[in-house]
Amino acid sequence: PKLSIKIIGYSQDSKQEVVNKNLAEKRAKFIQDYLVSKKIVKKRMVVSGATSKKSSIEIEILDTEDNPNENQEQPVKSIFDE
């Protein structure tokens, strides 16, 4: 199957939103770098950061294979809390 990976880093919501969003993106980038080191192709991954009530990493593995019954991606989610 054709798979892509969406990695979203979250940091705690506070008054320093820009700083926290940058931290969240760095967390997601760290995961991306780790996966690249394990031979997963970087261009299959999308990285972003956001703020939330608690710090975590969300990874969505999307099946992008053309499916005649459904024309949408099928996510499988994992969330790792700190």
pLDDT in tens, 26-64: 999 999 999 999 998 999 999 999 888 778 888 888 776
3-state secondary structure of 52: strand
pTM: 0.71
Asked if 57 and 31 touch (Cβ cutoff 8 Å), the reply is yes
**Dihedral over Cα of 51, 79, 66, 46: its sign:** positive
Residue 47's pLDDT is 93
Residue 80's pLDDT is 52
Residue 61's pLDDT is 83
pLDDT at 68 over 50: no
| List of long-range contacts for 14-21, beta carbons under 8 Å, 24+ apart | 14/51, 17/51, 20/51, 21/49, 21/50, 21/51
Q: What percent of the chain has pLDDT over 90?
A: 24
Residue 78's pLDDT is 52
The amino acid present at 35, given as its one-letter code, is: L
67 vs 73: CA distance, rounded Å: 9
| pLDDT-based confidence at residue 12 (cuts at 50, 70, 90) | confident
